[in-house]
């Protein structure tokens, strides 16, 4: 980053370069049938023409993980070009998990458009996700051509795959929680640490390991990102119960209405008095919750101190994340940008 170059300008450069590298990785696999690309192009908004730039902005995704990876590389080594292929791999992996998750959650929309399964059916969505996973690993091997030592490339692939394994396991735990009667907040934090934290951890870890051999720095960035991922998810849960709809674009109380086993309700269960806990159990045994039911749940949450507990846990992991970031000892413009990025991710809509 040039001295004085703004945070937004740096982000802009990274996004443009990532986009170009994504297209290059796609181009390498042009022999793969158009029916595969039709689905995958749609996921990334590559089906849109140059005259649909505004829509493209909405549907192409914010690429938070590769951007974080690039920022870490910039902070550690003063450049990010050498991590772009790994960033693309991570973005492909992330999108593979989104495509599969949308099928499983029956979520009709993704980034303001119908989700893939609504257009091509559940199974073709699963197949396209599987292919995108393979494409991700192939994208990461492009690092070889870019002069990265093969030992490092293998470590990148290990970090990426370990993140994928934890993410799949976290998703299994999450779906298992839905059918279980009770889940502790501690179990929940473990689950989101696996399901939401490990790919963000991989992002920062890979950004660092491609930029230094200092294992302490590599680990510190990884831990920073994992804790940031947990903070982000708990904060997201907070907004799902008490968010400002105007600011978040997500209806407050959505999670309650959908009876999602998110942090606030689990905290309420854990700390409610006996009568309230029985009331919660009865409400959550119902098929659906009425407006009045939602208000009752909110009141019980209030009495159990769920709001402040949720806020406190999000802040606690955010603070931990920042401590890990500081422990790297790195101080420069890009490191400042990482802090801004983290703040943007977690503090949004406070």
Q: Taking contact as CB under 8 A, which single stretch among the options 77-85, 166-174, 203-211, 218-226 is the one that binds its own copies?
A: 166-174
Torsion of CA 314, 315, 317, 320, to 10 degrees: 170
Tokens standing for residue 85: 């292929």
Q: Which of residues 242-271 bind its own copies (CB under 8 A)?
A: none
168 interacts with its own copies by CB under 8 A = yes
235 interacts with its own copies by CB under 8 A = no
Beta-carbon contacts of residue 203 (< 8 Å; ≥ 6 apart) = 65, 66, 68, 69, 72, 87, 90, 225
Identified binder of its own copies from the candidate list 36, 46, 56, 284, rule CB under 8 A: 36
Binding string to its own copies for residues 110 to 139, with x set by CB under 8 A, is what? Answer: -------------xx-xxx-xx-xxx-xx-
In angstroms, give the least distance from the CB of 89 to its own copies.
10
Q: Which of residues 52-111 bind its own copies (CB under 8 A)?
A: 97, 100, 103-104
Identified binder of its own copies from the candidate list 158, 182, 273, 290, rule CB under 8 A: 158
Cβ proximity to its own copies: between 123 and 350 the closer is 123
DSSP labels, 87-152 = HHHHHHHHHHHHHHHHHHHT--EETTEE-HHHHH-HHHHHHHHHHHHHHHHHHHTHHHHTT--HHH
Cβ proximity to its own copies: between 31 and 292 the closer is 31
* CB distance 199 to 163 below 8 Å: yes
Tokens standing for residue 216: 């302490």
Closest listed residue to residue 38, CA positions, set 97, 124, 105: 124
Residue 109's DSSP bridge partners are 114
Return residues touching its own copies (CB under 8 A).
29, 32-33, 35-36, 39, 97, 100, 103-104, 123-124, 126-128, 130-131, 133-135, 137-138, 141, 144, 149-151, 153-154, 157-158, 161-162, 164-166, 168-169, 171-173, 175-176
């Amino acid at each position: 980053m040039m001295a004085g170059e703004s945070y937004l300008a740096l982000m802009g450069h990274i996004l443009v370069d990532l986009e170009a590298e994504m297209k290059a990785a796609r181009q390498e696999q042009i022999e793969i049938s158009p029916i595969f690309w039709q689905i995958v192009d749609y996921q990334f908004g590559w089906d849109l023409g140059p005259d649909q730039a505004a829509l493209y902005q909405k549907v192409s995704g914010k690429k938070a993980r590769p951007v974080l990876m690039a920022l870490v590389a910039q902070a550690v080594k003063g450049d990010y070009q050498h991590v772009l292929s790994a960033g693309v791999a991570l973005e492909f992996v992330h999108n593979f998990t989104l495509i599969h998750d949308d099928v499983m959650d029956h979520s009709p929309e993704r980034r303001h458009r119908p989700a893939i399964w609504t257009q091509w059916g559940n199974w073709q969505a699963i197949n396209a996700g599987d292919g995108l996973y393979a494409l991700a690993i192939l994208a990461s091997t492009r690092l070889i051509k870019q002069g990265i030592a093969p030992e490092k490339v293998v470590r990148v692939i290990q970090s990426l795959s370990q993140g994928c394994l934890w993410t799949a396991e976290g998703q299994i735990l999450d779906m298992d929680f839905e059918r279980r009667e009770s889940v502790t907040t501690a179990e929940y934090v473990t689950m989101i640490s696996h399901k939401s934290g490990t790919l963000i951890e991989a992002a920062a870890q890979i950004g660092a390991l491609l930029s230094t051999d200092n294992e302490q720095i590599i680990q510190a960035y990884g831990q920073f990102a994992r804790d940031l991922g947990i903070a982000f998810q708990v904060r997201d849960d907070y907004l799902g119960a008490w968010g400002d709809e105007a600011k978040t674009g997500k209806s407050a109380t959505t999670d309650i209405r959908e009876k999602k086993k998110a942090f606030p309700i689990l905290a309420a269960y854990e700390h409610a008095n006996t009568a309230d806990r029985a009331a919660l159990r009865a409400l959550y045994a119902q098929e659906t919750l009425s407006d009045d039911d939602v208000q009752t749940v909110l009141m019980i949450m209030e009495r159990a101190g769920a709001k402040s507990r949720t806020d406190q846990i999000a802040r606690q992991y955010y603070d931990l994340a920042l401590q890990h970031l500081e422990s790297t000892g790195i101080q420069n413009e890009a490191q400042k940008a990482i802090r801004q990025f983290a703040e943007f991710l977690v503090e949004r809509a406070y």
